[in-house]
Amino acid sequence: MNSALFNKMLMFKIPIAKIAGLKLHSFDGNKSQISVKLGWLNQNPFKSMFWAVQGMAAELSTGALCMDKIKKSNHKFSMLVVGLQANFTKKAIGKIIFTCEQGAELDEILQKAIETKEGQILKMRSVGIDEKGDQVAEFFFTWSFKVKN
């Protein structure tokens, strides 16, 4: 995953995320970071980032890892978010970076799905950190993976 591919995906598959200002901050196959900066289009009435924008960035930090790993597996998968939990600990102001570091766990789950031909689930964590280094939010997305016939 690189910035050009990420931007193309947003433009054609998730345009609302592009409008909200989501950007690929960094990606290495085991760790994915999506950034978003508070602005007029993504703020709530309390002058902080709307929770749904944070959720989009958090989900994409997990989903980018999933899409990359699936592509590299040379198998076709169905993938779906089947659960979501979120905790908000501080007002999201300024630039927030959402990080997911579960690439190795994802490799294991996808391999198990390939070997067993059964659906597998993985709870993936994404943490949002502001420019001061403080945690503003924590999201848990439960992803379901199944190899397509």
Helix (H) / strand (E) containing 96: strand 95-100
SS3 21: coil
Radius of gyration of the chain (CA): 15
Provide CB contacts within 8 A for 25, sequence distance 6+: 33, 34, 35, 97
How high is the pLDDT of residue 58?
98
Residues recorded for the chain: 149
The 8-class DSSP code of residue 18 comes to H
Tell me which residue range forms the domain holding 39. 3-147
Beta bridge mates, 142: 83, 123
Q: What is the pLDDT along the chain (149 residues), one digit of tens a residue?
A: 777 778 777 777 888 888 899 999 999 989 999 999 999 999 999 999 999 999 999 999 999 999 999 999 999 999 999 999 999 999 999 999 999 999 999 999 999 999 999 999 999 999 999 999 999 999 999 999 999 98
- Predicted TM-score (pTM) of this structure: 0.93
How high is the pLDDT of residue 28?
92
For the chain, what is the domain count?
1
Instruction: Measure the CA–CA gap between 142 and 65, rounded to whole angstroms.
Output: 14
And the tokens for 116?
């067993």
CATH of the domain at 95: 3.10.129.10
How high is the pLDDT of residue 97?
98
How high is the pLDDT of residue 7?
77
